[in-house]
Amino acid sequence: MVKMTIIDFLKERATKNADDLAFRFMGNGESDGPITEWTFSELYHQSAGVAEDLIEQGLAGSSVLLAFPPGLDFVKAFFGCLLVGARAVPVPLPNPRSKNPLGRILNTAGACGASTVLTNQQLADMVAPMASGLPVCLRAVTDRVATDWTGPQTEMNEVAYLQFTSGSTGHPKGVAVRHTNIVSNLRVMGQMLHIKSTKPAIVWAPHYHDLCLVGHVLGPVYYGYESTLMSPMDFLVKPVRWLRAMSHYKIANTACPNFGYDYSVRRIKPEDCDGLDLSHWEVAGNGGEPVHQLTMEMFVKKFGPYGFRPQTFMPCYGMAESVLFVAGMKPLSEPPKVLTLSAADLETHTVRVLADNEPGQRNVVSCGSPGSDHQVIAVDPVTFTQSKSNQIGELWVQGPSVPSGYWGLPEESAATFEGRLANKNEGPFLRTGDLGFVADGEVYVTGRLKEMIIIAGRNHYPSDIELTVHQSGAPVRLGACAAISETINGLEELVIIAEVDERRLPDNTQSEGHGAESIDAFWASAVKTVQGAVSKGHGLSVRSVVFVEPRSLEKTSSGKPRRQYYQKLFQQGKLAMLHEKRSPQTV
C-alpha cells in the first residue's frame, strides 16, 4: 500500500495534472453567472501562498478556524493549513439572527485552542468593530500566490483537520482526523461511488460540512476529478439550479440529504425542467438523515423523463466520527434495496419482514455495505453483546477510517471510540449512537439511541413521527418539525414542536382583536390535524402541540433536528412560540 498523505496527492496533481480543472464555483448557481475555476496547478500555488502567510504569522502546527462564505477561498485556506501542518477547523459563518452571533466560533476556538480565524475580507471588516477584546483574531485570507513553495514533510499520522460534530454549540467536540483516516475513507468512497477521474461531481452542501469537505474538496485531489461547488442558499432559493448545473456540466456524481430530493420534487415546476438532461447522472448519494422510499419514488417519477434512473440512487450511512462514509456499497445497475418490516415489532426492537399485503408496514431503506477493511455490527446497548440477526441494536463501526477520538477530550473519546464487546473483549469500535441492524451484509438505520421516545413500554422513532406530521397536511414548514417527550408524574408524554408555514398563516395571527375567531379556528384546525395524524399513524396521543415562528428552530449543520436542544428550550419556556395546545394528561 502506497503511504501518501492528501498533501502528497495535491503536490502530485499540481505536477502530473497541472492543467486539469480541479474546482469550479458557481457564484449565483447559474451556469451563465459569475464562475471561478482553478486548475490543480492554480489550486496548489494559491494554497502555498496561504501556507507561506501562516508561517509568517507563526501559526504552523496550531489550530486555525476557517469561517468562509461559499467560494474557493475556503478551499485554498483549507489546503494552505494542511501544507504547513496547521490543523484546519472548518466552522459555520456567524449567524446574524443569533443573540450571540460569534458564540459558536468562540466556543470552537476555545475547544481547540485556536487564536486565529481565517475568513474573507468582507467578513473580517464587518466583524472588526465587535472584535475588540475577543480571544481570537479574524483575519482575511491572503491573496498571495507562491510558485516556489518548499514546506515541511507531512506524516500519515499527523492530524490534518478537526471536524466539529454537527450538533456542537455549548460543548463542541472536534473529531481529530489524521491523514491516514482521510486516505482510508477516500478509498472507501471510491469503492462505493465507483469514482473515476473523468466523472465530474457537484455539491451544494456547506463547505464546512463533511459531505462537501471529504467528497468534494478532498476527493478531487485524491482522484483527480472535476468538482463544482455552489452555495446552499442558491439551491434553496431556486433548486432547479442544481439540476441545470448537472445537465450543463454533465455531472456524474452528487449527494445531499433526503430533504434535498424532497425539496426539489416539491419546488421545481415542470416548466423549469425544459432542456434538462440528467442521463449522465450515475450516483445520487442520499444520506445524513433518514432515507425515505417515497421521496426516491417521487423524484424518479418527476425527473425520470429527463434521464434520471432509479438505480442512480445510492443511500449512504456516515458521520464525522468516521471521516464521512461508513456504508453505501451497492451495484450501480440495481435500485436501492428496501425491506418491508412490521411496525409493531420495531417497537420492541425486533426485525420481522412482512409479506406485500400485510398491514402495519414500515419500509426501511438499505444504506448498502461497508467498504473493504471496515465492518459494522449491531450491539445490545445494555449488555454490550452483539445483537441477534433479528434484533435492532446500536451500530458499531471498526476500520482504518475511524479516528482515535475527539481533540482534547479523553473521557468523551473513550466513551465513543473505544467500544468493546463484553463477551469477547473485541474492539475498539466506534459507538455511533444510531440504532439499526445488518442484514445480508447491508446496513439499515432505524433511529437514534438517545432520542428514542418510550411511551407505555413501546419504542417510537422521532423521525417516523415527524414524517407523519409533515405528510398530515398541517401548516408545518418543510423539514422543520421535532418530536420530543416530557416526563409528567413519571410518565413520558409526546410533544410535537413545529415551525408554522408562514405562507399558510392568516392575517393578524397574533392579534386579539379583529379576526380573532378565524385565527382561533386556524390554530384549532392545525392542532387537530397533527393530533389526528399521529394518533392514526402511531396510536399515540399528543400531549402538546407547539407551533413556533418560522426559522426559529436551530438545526445541525446537515439540517437535522436538534431534538435534545429543542427539548431543553421547551422545558425552559424559551421557544419562539406562536401557539400551544396542551391536552389533558393521558392515563
Q: Which of 29-38, 344-353, 506-515 has the lowest mean pLDDT?
A: 506-515
Q: Is residue 167 part of a domain?
A: yes
Rounded distance between C-alpha atoms, residue 566 and residue 345, angstroms: 29
CATH number of the domain at 337, please. 2.30.38.10
The number of beta carbons lying within 10 Å of the beta carbon of residue 502 is 12
Secondary structure of residue 49 in the 3-state scheme: helix
Q: Which residue has the cell 491573496?
A: 143
Report pLDDT for 504. 87
- Predicted confidence at residue 557, as pLDDT, reads 58
pLDDT of residue 568: 86
CA distance 13 to 434: 38
Q: Is residue 495 part of a domain?
A: yes
Domain count within the chain? 3
- In this structure, the answer to whether residues 401 and 544 fall within a common structural domain is no
* One domain for residues 424 and 569: no
Percent of the residues in the chain that have a pLDDT greater than 90, as a whole number: 72
Rounded distance between C-alpha atoms, residue 274 and residue 252, angstroms = 20
- Shared domain for 435 and 485, answered yes or no, is no
Say yes or no: 28 and 62 in one domain: yes
Strand, helix or coil at 242?
Answer: helix
Q: Could you tell me the pLDDT band of residue 509, with boundaries at 50, 70 and 90?
A: low
Query: 286-324 pLDDT, tens per residue?
Result: 998 889 999 999 999 999 999 999 999 999 999 999 999
Helix (H, G, I), strand (E, B) or coil at 441: coil
Domain annotation covers residue 188: yes
HSE of 453, CA atoms in CB hemisphere, 13 A: 26
Query: Do the strands 542-548 and 491-500 form a parallel or antiparallel pair, or are they unpaired?
Result: parallel
**pLDDT of res. 587:** 44
> Residues 81, 86, 91, 96: is their CA dihedral positive or negative?
negative
- pLDDT tier for residue 167 given thresholds of 50, 70 and 90: very low
Which of 448, 467, 490 terminates a domain? The answer is: 448
Q: Give a yes or no: residue 258 inside a domain.
A: no
Confidence check: pLDDT of 552 > 60: yes
Across the chain, mean pLDDT equals: 91
Q: Are residues 190 and 108 both part of a single domain?
A: yes
Which of 199-208, 335-344, 481-490 is predicted with the least confidence, judged by mean pLDDT?
481-490
516 with 410, same domain? no
* pLDDT per position as a tens digit, 21-37: 999 999 999 999 999 99
* pLDDT value at residue 515: 57
Q: Which CATH number belongs to the domain containing residue 555 in this structure? A: 3.30.300.30
Residue 35 lies in a domain: yes
* 522 falls within a domain: yes
- Name residue, grid cell 421521496: 295
Residues 60 and 196 in one domain: yes
Looking at per-residue confidence, does 294 or 562 come out higher?
294
Same domain, 111 and 175: yes
- Of all residues in the chain, the percent with pLDDT exceeding 70 is 94
Report residue 366's pLDDT band, with 50, 70 and 90 as the boundaries.
very high
Q: Does 483 share its domain with 564?
A: yes
Say yes or no to pLDDT of 455 above 90: no
Confidence of residue 168 (pLDDT cuts 50, 70, 90): very low
**CATH code at position 185:** 3.40.50.12780
Instruction: Write down which residue in 237, 256, 286 finishes a domain.
Output: 237
Same domain, 375 and 425: yes
Tell me which residue range forms the domain holding 51.
6-237
Query: Which of 432, 448, 464 is a domain's end point?
Result: 448
In terms of domains, do 47 and 83 share one? yes
The pLDDT, as a whole number, for residue 525 is: 93
Mark whether 141 and 39 lie in a shared domain: yes
Note the Cα 214 to chain centre separation in Å. Answer: 12
Q: Which of 99-108, 177-186, 391-400, 538-547 has the lowest mean pLDDT?
A: 99-108
Does some domain include residue 547?
Answer: yes
Q: How far is CA 489 from CA 145, 541, 573, in A?
A: 66, 16, 19
